[in-house]
Amino acid sequence: MGKVDRNSHIENNMRTGILAAYHFLGTDQRSLADILAADQSTTAELGLTHADIAKWLTACLRLDRTLSFSELNIHLIEKHSFYAGEGSPYRIDPAAAAAIFGGGQLWVIS
């Protein structure tokens, strides 16, 4: 299965299939490819990588910060560059995440 076919299959599952109940796409009418591209553009403009944001979210588990997310968000951001669609209760805006952590390098003390 090609990447386009795979993305279409995943998007279909997120809109009407087994994953629809989780509202990952929210009310966002953009295609999954467009959502991924927009979030890629935002992270690039911020000078960040998806791995940077996933690391910050992991550190947020240990800090007293207000940002609602789950370990699944970390996985989806780090491995699939997916922040969820607009209107989704699971959406993490890359710019908002960067603002919480100062938009720079995060030094994590374990």
Integer Cα distance of 21 and 100 in angstroms = 29
For each of the chain's 110 residues, which pLDDT tens digit applies? 676 688 889 889 888 888 888 788 889 999 999 999 999 999 999 888 898 888 877 776 666 666 778 889 999 999 999 999 999 989 998 888 887 766 655 555 44
- How many other CB atoms are found less than 10 A from the CB of residue 94? 23
Integer Cα distance of 99 and 68 in angstroms = 14
Residue 86 DSSP one-character state: T
* The model's pTM: 0.58
Residue 95 CB-half CA count within 13 A: 5
Question: Strand, coil or helix: what is 31?
Answer: coil
